[in-house]
Amino acid sequence: MRLLVTGAAGMLGRDVASAGAAAGHELSALARSELDVTDSAAVEAAVREARPDAVVNCAAWTDVDGAETESEAAFAVNGPGAGNVARAAAAAGAWTVHVSTDYVFSGEKRSPYLESDPTGPGSEYGRGKLAGELEVAGAAPGGHTIVRSSWLFGAGGRCFPATILRAGAERDQLTVVDDQVGCPTFTGHLAQALLALSRDRVAGIVHVAGGGQCSWYDFAREIVRLAGLSCEVVPGTTAGLGRPAPRPAWSVLGTEVAEAPRLPDWHEGLEAFLAAGVPS
């Protein structure tokens, strides 16, 4: 399979490119510095040159708080930028796999969100990602998979476990919120799922996240325990953080799609992350 990966220098993009190469796919991996997805002409040219069977779009504005103050720039990448990728892929006869997020939901539910549940983002980031889903669906109506995932972490970039490991080695106590619950998802596991969806061409929206669920507090405690750190982890509240962007209180994703890949439990993802080493 000829595969084009956008956003290939990011945490998820690196793992998708690595997994694609390991699987023997003919790979074109383009970082943001090599392809700005907001430039429709550049995207069209890149897709024409790569002649892919599938395009995995990992390009995204992921700074949730930054999106509140730089909403136009964030929206351009996460909304129309996603549409540019899907449109170019469709014109080339390629399948689009687009990565979205739990932030398209309000977070008010207390059972797993399914693909058919109504959306209701509460942040600029979430609104931009939802716009991207609509752009992809409109640009490639018969040739796309939209993959919603949550709480990504991996060895190829800055992420929550890496932050906890650094802070836990420097401090005696960490305060971590216990009023947000989600599904931590190891990008090494998600990358394999994205390749499978590219191959199998599962159409529509699919939820793919790490198995199980926990709060950030629970997640942090497990990170500290497995790393053998001596710092204490105490529970805090989201309100106490005073972050610019609202966070969904509930980000647990389930699926009603029979063909959706099932990922290992988040504990297994954390163990794989720790085995791979902490990113610098």
Domain residues for the domain of 138 are 2-158+183-212+251-264
Residue 170 pLDDT > 70, yes or no?
yes
* Mean pLDDT, residues 181-193: 98
Q: Does residue 245 fall inside a structural domain? A: no
Active site residue 125: yes
Residue 146 domain flag: yes
In this structure, is residue 85 part of a structural domain? Answer: yes
Assess if residue 165 is contained within a domain. Answer: no
**In-domain check, residue 114:** yes
pTM attached to this predicted model:
0.97
CA distance 19 to 17: 5
Residue 273 lies in a domain: no
The answer to whether 181 and 235 have CB atoms below 8 angstroms apart is no
Number of domains making up the chain = 1
**pLDDT, position 278:** 64
Query: Of the residues 103, 113, 125, 217, which is catalytic?
Result: 125
How many CB atoms lie under 10 A from the CB of residue 100?
Answer: 23
- Give the whole-angstrom CA distance, residue 244 versus residue 66: 8
Q: What is the pLDDT of residues 205-253, one digit of tens each?
A: 999 999 999 999 999 999 999 999 999 999 999 999 899 999 999 999 9
**pLDDT, position 100:** 98
In this prediction, what percent of the chain has a pLDDT beyond 70?
Answer: 99
223 within some domain: no
CATH of the domain at 102: 3.40.50.720
| Tokens read off for 240 | 């106490």
Of 61, 66, 65, give the one whose Cα is nearest residue 82: 61
Residue 39 pLDDT greater than 70, yes or no: yes
Question: What is the pLDDT confidence band of residue 280, given thresholds at 50, 70 and 90?
Answer: very low
Helix (H, G, I), strand (E, B) or coil at 148: strand
218's tokens: 């629970």
Average pLDDT of the residues in 150-156: 95
